[in-house]
Amino acid sequence: MQKITKDQLVEKTVALLSDGTVSAVLGWSRGEFDYDITPAVFKTAEDLKENFVWNDFCGANFSKYLVAQTGKVEGKILVFLKPCDTYSFNQLLTEHRFDREKVYAVGIPCEGMADIAKVKEIVGDGIVSIEADGENLKVSTLYEDAPALVNAKDVMAERCVNCKSKKHVAYDELMGDDGEVIESNRFDEVARLEAMTPDERFAFWQNELSRCIRCNACRDACPACTCEKCVFDNPASSVENKAPANSFEEKMFHIIRAFHVAGRCTDCGECSRVCPQNIPLHLLNRKFIKDINEFYGEYQAGAEVGSRAPLVDYTTEDLEPGEVFDRGDKDA
């Protein structure tokens, strides 16, 4: 259950639209069901009142849309940012990817987003409605007469279970209360893999990455992937490939994708959320974050604007590449 209500957000937004503070609003638009929510640009109060939604399925991170939308809109665009989205917002600002003056950022608290796949695992298929009901989600299906009550905590998306921060690091206006940076267990799964033997890790990733269909959703949804022309889309790069031709291509794409955002990835988890094949792509990103924290000191991308990402920085005392394997808990 989200603490702030849709009505509060609509009321606030309509006021800012009508007094001319903003001329467009980046928000969530209702779908055919209660969970298939589409990011949309709202320009009128009527549209907002009719189509704007805010519920447990508003997972999409809007930061990246600002790159394109700030160039399209006259005046300011209002953007809703959940705490994790604010990190991506700052990171994009650090990289000068959009004009801060053209944005009116409204921070909104988030109690964690639900994963529809987890809901379906519990209640089955044929969902006709999902309503918030206190701590629970009330889910009606075609196949059960009575709606099922599911605790929102039990169907929370992985990235929200391992939420790293409820604190907004950027906003013009904050609705509701700000939270704190959380001590999360987000690196546990990475550590579990690190503790395996190389053969086990190879088998694990071979199995995961073999499902890749190279739809590029992970890249296209990633707020850190904002190159105008990706090397994988450029026929002149000689690595462009539209298909995961074999296990080498699968690995190359995912290593390069994760490496290119290493140090800039805020761990927002969009890559894994959008993957149609349920590949835990965030683990590759988290591996880089964990390594960077251990090698070069704690660093959270997007925590502050203008900070220097660890891979475009150095000290003369850095450890040697050969030494990264000799640090105690490794299998070496």
Partner 1 sequence: MQVKEYKPLIVAFCCNWCSYAGADLAGNNRLSYPADVKIIRVPCSCRVNPMFILRAFQRGADGVIICGCHPGDCHYTSGNYYTRRRMAALFSMLDFLGIEKERTRVEWVSAAEGAKFAATMNEFAETVASLGENKRLEDLRCKR
Partner 2 sequence: MRKVSLDSINKVFAKISESNKLYLPVDGSDGVAVYTEWSEGKEWSNALNTVRSPKDFFFPQMENLMEFKTSGKNIELVDIRDEKEDFVIFGVRACDVRSFDILDRVFLSDPVDSFYASRREHGIIVSVACSKPSETCFCKTFGIDAANPDGDVTAWKTEDSVYFVANTEKGEAFMKKIEDLTEECDDSAVTAQKERIAKIMEKLPLADLSTDAFGGGKTDTFFNAPEWDELSQTCLGCGTCTFVCPTCQCYDIKDFNTGNGVIRYRCWDSCMYSEFTKMAHGNNRLSQKERFRQRFMHKLVYYPENNEGIFGCVGCGRCLAKCPISMNIVKVMKKIGGNKSE
For partner 2, the binding residues (CB under 8 A) are 31-33, 36-41, 60, 65, 121, 124-128, 142-143, 207, 211, 213-217, 219-221, 229, 233, 235, 238, 240-245, 273-274, 276-278
Q: Which of 159, 115, 114, 156 is nearest to 265 (CA)?
A: 159
Whole-number minimum distance, CB 139 to partner 2, in Å?
11
The CA-to-CA distance between both ends of the chain, in Å, stands at: 46
What are the tokens at 7? 């009505």
- Give Cβ neighbours of residue 115 (< 8 Å, ≥ 6 apart): 155, 156, 157, 158, 273
39 interface partner picked from partner 2, partner 1, none, CB below 5 to 8 A per type: partner 2
Decide whether 120 or 204 has the Cβ nearer to partner 1: 204
The three-class DSSP label of residue 145 is coil
Decide whether 94 or 296 has the Cβ nearer to partner 1: 296
- The residue assigned the tokens 């991170």 is 61
Q: Which of 188, 120, 110 is nearest to 154 (CA)?
A: 120
Q: For the chain, count helices (H), then strands (E).
A: 12, 8
251 interface partner picked from partner 1, partner 2, none, CB below 5 to 8 A per type: partner 1
256 interface partner picked from partner 2, partner 1, none, CB below 5 to 8 A per type: partner 1
Decide whether 15 or 203 has the Cβ nearer to partner 1: 203
The span from the CA of 156 to the CA of 161, in Å, is: 6
154 interface partner picked from partner 2, partner 1, none, CB below 5 to 8 A per type: none
200 interface partner picked from partner 1, partner 2, none, CB below 5 to 8 A per type: partner 1
193 interface partner picked from partner 1, partner 2, none, CB below 5 to 8 A per type: partner 1
Decide whether 81 or 265 has the Cβ nearer to partner 1: 265
The span from the CA of 74 to the CA of 47, in Å, is: 18
110 neighbors 84 (Cβ within 8 angstroms): yes
Decide whether 213 or 239 has the Cβ nearer to partner 1: 239
142 interface partner picked from partner 1, partner 2, none, CB below 5 to 8 A per type: partner 2
Whole-number minimum distance, CB 314 to partner 1, in Å?
4
Give the long-range contacts of residues 198-204, CB within 8 A, separation 24 or more: 198/331
The span from the CA of 78 to the CA of 152, in Å, is: 28
Whole-number minimum distance, CB 195 to partner 2, in Å?
19
Decide whether 248 or 325 has the Cβ nearer to partner 2: 248
Whole-number minimum distance, CB 201 to partner 1, in Å?
4
Whole-number minimum distance, CB 93 to partner 2, in Å?
21
What are the tokens at 188? 């546990």
The span from the CA of 320 to the CA of 197, in Å, is: 23
Strand pairing partners for 129? 140
Whole-number minimum distance, CB 266 to partner 2, in Å?
18
Pairing verdict, β 103-107 and 38-42? unpaired
- Give Cβ neighbours of residue 238 (< 8 Å, ≥ 6 apart): none
Whole-number minimum distance, CB 181 to partner 2, in Å?
27
DSSP per-residue codes, 109-125: -----B-HHHHHHHH-S
Angle between helices 282-296 and 247-260 (to 10 degrees): 50
Whole-number minimum distance, CB 163 to partner 1, in Å?
23
Decide whether 136 or 277 has the Cβ nearer to partner 1: 277
Decide whether 166 or 257 has the Cβ nearer to partner 2: 257
Binding site for partner 1 (CB under 8 A): 190, 193-194, 198-206, 231, 239, 245-246, 248-249, 251-252, 255-256, 258-259, 262, 284, 287-288, 291-292, 295-296, 310-316, 318-325, 332
